[in-house]
Structure 1
Amino acid sequence: MKKIFLYSFICLISMISCKKEAPIAEVNPTSKAFAELLSNYNDESYKYFPLNATFEGLEGYNSQFPNVLSDEFNTELKAYYTKTKDALAKINDVELSDTEKLSKAVLNWDCDINLKALSFEDYTPINQMWTVNLMMGQLASGTSAQPFKTVEDYNNWLTRVDGYLVWLNSAEEKMREGIKVGHVLPKSLIKKVIPQFEGLATGEVSDHLFFTPAKNIPEEISFVERKNIMDPYMAMVSDKIMPAYKKMADFLKNEYLPAGRETSGIADTPNGEAYYNHQIKTYTTTNMTADEIHQLGLSEVARIRTEMEKVKEEVGYKGDLKSFFDFVRNNKELMPYKNADEVIANFNGIHDKMKPQLEKLFDIKPKTPFEVRRTEAFREASASAEYNPGSKDGSRPGIFYAPIPDAAKYNVYADEALFLHEAIPGHHYQISLTQESETLPEFRKSLWYSAYGEGWALYTESLGKELGLYTDPYQYFGMLGMEMHRAVRLVVDTGIHSKGWSREQAIKYSLDNEAESEDSITREIERYMANGGQALSYKIGQLKIRELRAKAEKALGNKFDIKEFHNQVLETGCIPLQLLENKIDTWIAANK
């Protein structure tokens, strides 16, 4: 799912209460104008991105679904970013506080990157991994962000589904245009998308994913009102969703698949090289080139292989590293479970094991609740493990989704590192603490830059020993394996999209250098094919945070406090890496 989270913020200016005879402090006129600009930007953003409002738990947007593929929408969105840029240019930096200057820099960067994105035509609005139809499936389950508590909630979803179906029809039109201009998905990806639509195009209405909320109506809703919900939901599924999904499945199978590309990379599409360069900047928030990233990846792969060799020797394995990968992949002792509940219980056990150690590294913990859940069946076959944020008010927990297509084949060797990354202290700490912040403006509470966000999560994997984990050499090898996975991404993502690598070439390189199963690696390579550049963000961000920690440790010596360093990194929310580096440099200088 190609998600670009576009949020804004409100900077609140408070008047200080004084004694009756004391004068009231004057508000800086520039700060007041800046706060108003940000407030307007934030309020208007939900008009364009109402799903963001739903995930934030905001009322009033749950029925909306604009057609983001229409020319009218894109014209309005461009004007929205452009007028914000123009207004920011009129704000005098000299009269802003340091926090306001950072907020201005972040917003300018965000407007620029999104204006650039709008210069590229979206001919592939649907793929197997990143697109809005998959998010709508999650919402339709009734267990995600879309609320189903009142009659109004149920009616809101019916209206939103109508808007979604307009988008779905536009997606087919865009893909038809893509066929004409030679900008289509690779065949291997199309083959993965077809079953996702076919699976929701047939069957009993009462068993359909989109009918699920009607089967779980709260007791507070009366019997009469229940019937007024059930009938429209039956009609929505049978008369709208199922026909629309069948129409899309038929188009994908009969028209789109025959036109699909045999090549794998985006460079093989019109304007593909320029688009990939844009993706690199979007996801790394740097000016690095594809060649620089490719070489960095090769270097990191070599370094991590050396560490893996040490683990191989520790466990007494006599073969070479590649055969050790096979040994780990197929080791039945690392596949101890019979059902998905046991896998979920293991993740919860990891959390319990490290709880006593968390206070040594973190003195601030989120209030937002947290859960581990199995990935929903309709998307499990193509999904990776992921974290979905809780709502800002804490009413909806943060959720770590783990795909478990076959529990008997589920290998646990990387579960400790996976939990650190996706859950605690990875994404759950990072996102929840940002949302709960009482000092950050609203915009920065919800902003997402993958280099920072995924970089932090990958950095936290290296904290396992400090948290009492990785006592089993296979779990430590799992951490190295996950780091290797991200280093391999630097090589294969740039290989696929800038060096002409095939899907098969990328799969082979991954199999040669990591212990994931071939099925898992194939899904990963196809993920990179669907959204070039995203996979680069993890390692680029991790290496920058590691670099900043090492710089602070060296500069501050005995004054270095790991808890305070983590506070400094986390308190900013997601920001481009250069802005994070500037902040840490300032902190180091102030504490020397």
Structure 2
Amino acid sequence: MKKITIIAVALIAMASCKNEPKKEETPSKSAEFATVLDNYYEDGLKLNPLQATLAGDHRYDDSFPNMLSDVYQEESKAYYEGYKERLSQFPDESLTESEQMSKAILLWECNINLDEFNFNADLTPIDQMWSPNLFVGQLASGSSAQPFNTVEDYENWMKRVDGYLEWLSSTETKMKEGMEKGHVLPKSLIVKVLPQLQSQTGKDLDKHLFYQPIKNMPADFTEEQKASLTTAYKDMITNKVIPAYESLYNFMSTDYLEAGRESSGIQGEPNGDAYYAHQIKKYTTTNMTAAEIHELGLSEVARIRSEMEKIKEQVGFEGDLKAFFDYVRNNKDLMPFTDPQQVIDNFNAIHERMKPQIEKLFDKKPKTPFEVRRTEAFRENSASAEYNQGSLDGTRPGIFYVPIPDVTHYNTYSDESLFLHEAIPGHHYQISLTQENKELPEFRKTLWYSGYGEGWALYTESLGKELGLYTDPYQYFGMLGAEMHRAVRLVVDTGLHSKGWTREEAIQYSLDNEAESEASITSEIERYMANPGQALSYKIGQLKIRELRKKAEDALGEKFNIGQFHNQVLETGCVPLALLEDKIDGWIASNQ
């Protein structure tokens, strides 16, 4: 799932005082607490207006703050420090159980974000996978969260682009500072950024990404409005957007590329070990060390390999497991498509096959619409499959994006597990049910903790047989391959960032233990290089949810209800794993 920076959003006021003539009641602690959360929400949206747009709140659609400026950094620090201080005014004993959960989550948010100011992450603001310029490209296409329904919408986008280009200009300043202080991207990542930037420098406006909204103007616009907007957008792209991208491309393709580091992991930067420890905590929401995670990864890889051997024997393949990986990667029978739409249709067919069984495992299903779409052409060569959540009000669907750069080489062997993870009942259920839950404070509806969110999605891959899937041994092998992929991540991410592994060593380890293509594996390894620690969250979270399910099954016996267990996991929204464990332990105790 795609990871833009998410500022937590908060509770819309749950309580209000009755107005009585000549008497003013003192607000209750709950009302005071709700007000703090409500203010946190509103202040957070002002700090991160992109998150407001993503959530379907369009009050700030014209804003793009310069997140790299000193002013913004100070405002952000004051934001977290201020709310941490306000939370200290509410002792746990004065709060309900639900409020205590909200307080614990909000304290986590404040602390982990304040910790990040101790490092120099802002000195490498651009990468090939995670940086804001890629999300802005999605918005610019006119088919994402930024609305283009009214003239005001079109004008808002032009104002937002002005702010964005100020940020884009600041990235060059920050990267120059990073060159002086030893904080630069690896050369192997810089060369992947360059074509992304160059794609926005083309002079043919009709093909330019930022021109697409003009080609799709609403029919009810007057001819005068259409002509005015067309002129304005042509001027914006020709005189602002293209020169900004040209400037950054010229800098990154020359001075910055020359300064790019040869090392692959974050250890190659100053204070890299401490930063990696912070990233592990941020993404896994645990206190595990890099060494512990590396050993866990090696153990999981060995376990899953033994399961893969059984599938290899089942299909009658006589070579070793590595040869079987090559066979699966290159099996033309598993590459049956000639048109990208066939890939989309196949995912929709998987959805239809599992519908009869979904009722047995889930008694709560989201109302938010859902779609499968092909990843946009400008980014699909470097993109992984991903889920983009729907809007809070349910008017924008959740979207499962699938990159299909070459449909004739699209291998279907992992499609069932991929759909379970990215779509249903993975990210679409988890995120949509959270957003639709009227009992949750608003600030918890768009929180994102990878340990929980990605852990849940990987856990759902193991539900395939219960959902009527994995009847084809290759699809079950695909599930094992996906789980192996996440186990390998534990090994290679820690290898890259704490053990001095090179990009090539990480690629080779993955090739030795996975059935993915070399091109796909290379893209994945470069993803880990760009965002240390994020890749660890999947397996750590999955193992914790599996552990909690087994604990509940063993403790409750015949009283265990899988639908109710899934409700318990999902209804709290995204939470740090320790808080989830406390909740499940309480649920078990109350049902014994």
Aligned twin of 1:464: 464
Aligned equivalents of 2:591, 2:15: Cα separation in 1: 29
Contact 1:3 1:130 in 2 (8 A): yes
Contact 1:2 1:131 in 2 (8 A): no
Aligned equivalents of 2:214, 2:257: Cα separation in 1: 35
Contact 2:13 2:35 in 1 (8 A): no
Aligned twin of 1:342: 342
Residues 281-292 of structure 1: matches in 2 within 5 Å? 281-292=281-292
Aligned twin of 2:14: 13
Aligned twin of 1:74: 73
Residues 92-131 of structure 1: matches in 2 within 5 Å? 92-121=91-120, 122-131=122-131
Letter in 2 for 1:245: Y
- What's the CA shift string for 1:62-86, capped at 9, x where partnerless? 0000000011111111011101010
Aligned twin of 1:61: 60
Query: How far is the alpha carbon of 1:28 from its aligned partner?
Result: 7.1
Q: Aligned pair 1:51/2:50, yes or no?
A: yes
Letter in 2 for 1:255: D
Aligned equivalents of 1:552, 1:28: Cα separation in 2: 40
Aligned equivalents of 1:15, 1:270: Cα separation in 2: 51
Letter in 1 for 2:4: K
Greater CA deviation, 8-17 or 409-418?
8-17
- Runs of 4 or more, structure 1, over 3 Å off, are 14-17
Aligned twin of 1:446: 446
Aligned equivalents of 1:422, 1:572: Cα separation in 2: 20
For the residue of structure 2 that corresponds to 1:378, the secondary structure is coil
Query: How far is the alpha carbon of 1:182 from its aligned partner?
Result: 1.4
Identity %: 65
Residues 42-441 of structure 1: matches in 2 within 5 Å? 42-121=41-120, 122-441=122-441
For the residue of structure 1 that corresponds to 2:445, the secondary structure is helix
Residues 472-511 of structure 1: matches in 2 within 5 Å? 472-511=472-511
Letter in 2 for 1:218: P
Aligned equivalents of 1:332, 1:584: Cα separation in 2: 45
Letter in 1 for 2:11: I
- What's the CA shift string for 1:239-278, capped at 9, x where partnerless? 1111111111111111111111111000110111111110
Contact 2:129 2:527 in 1 (8 A): yes
Contact 1:267 1:273 in 2 (8 A): yes
For the residue of structure 2 that corresponds to 1:379, the secondary structure is coil
Query: How far is the alpha carbon of 1:16 from its aligned partner?
Result: 11
Letter in 2 for 1:413: Y
Greater CA deviation, 86-95 or 498-507?
86-95
Query: How far is the alpha carbon of 1:203 from its aligned partner?
Result: 3.2
Query: How far is the alpha carbon of 1:581 from its aligned partner?
Result: 0.2
Distance change in 2, residues 1:204/1:15 (3 Å): closer
Aligned equivalents of 1:291, 1:273: Cα separation in 2: 12
Greater CA deviation, 219-228 or 329-338?
219-228
Aligned twin of 2:28: 29
- What's the CA shift string for 1:533-584, capped at 9, x where partnerless? 0000000000000000000000000000000000000000000000000000
Aligned twin of 1:41: 40
For the residue of structure 1 that corresponds to 2:401, the secondary structure is strand
Letter in 2 for 1:81: Y
Distance change in 2, residues 1:580/1:28 (3 Å): farther
Letter in 2 for 1:373: R
Distance change in 2, residues 1:389/1:108 (3 Å): same
Letter in 1 for 2:210: F
Q: Name the count of aligned residue pairs.
A: 585
Letter in 1 for 2:36: L
Aligned equivalents of 1:273, 1:410: Cα separation in 2: 38
Letter in 2 for 1:427: H
- What's the CA shift string for 1:275-294, capped at 9, x where partnerless? 11100000000000000000
Contact 2:65 2:163 in 1 (8 A): yes
Contact 2:61 2:160 in 1 (8 A): yes
Query: How far is the alpha carbon of 1:222 from its aligned partner?
Result: 1.2
Contact 1:493 1:535 in 2 (8 A): yes
Query: How far is the alpha carbon of 1:500 from its aligned partner?
Result: 0.1
Query: How far is the alpha carbon of 1:8 from its aligned partner?
Result: 2.2
Query: How far is the alpha carbon of 1:438 from its aligned partner?
Result: 1.1
- What's the CA shift string for 1:72-117, capped at 9, x where partnerless? 1111110111010101001121121100000000000000000011
Letter in 2 for 1:12: A
- What's the CA shift string for 1:9-58, capped at 9, x where partnerless? 115334799xxxxxxxx997211111111111111101110000000111
Unpaired runs of 5+ in structure 1?
Answer: 18-25
Unpaired runs of 5+ in structure 2?
Answer: 19-24
Instruction: Output the TM-score relative to the length of structure 2.
Output: 0.97
Query: How far is the alpha carbon of 1:339 from its aligned partner?
Result: 1.4
Aligned equivalents of 1:488, 1:280: Cα separation in 2: 16
- What's the CA shift string for 1:428-449, capped at 9, x where partnerless? 0000010011100001111100
Contact 1:30 1:92 in 2 (8 A): no
Q: Aligned pair 1:4/2:5, yes or no?
A: yes
Instruction: Output the TM-score relative to the length of structure 1.
Output: 0.97
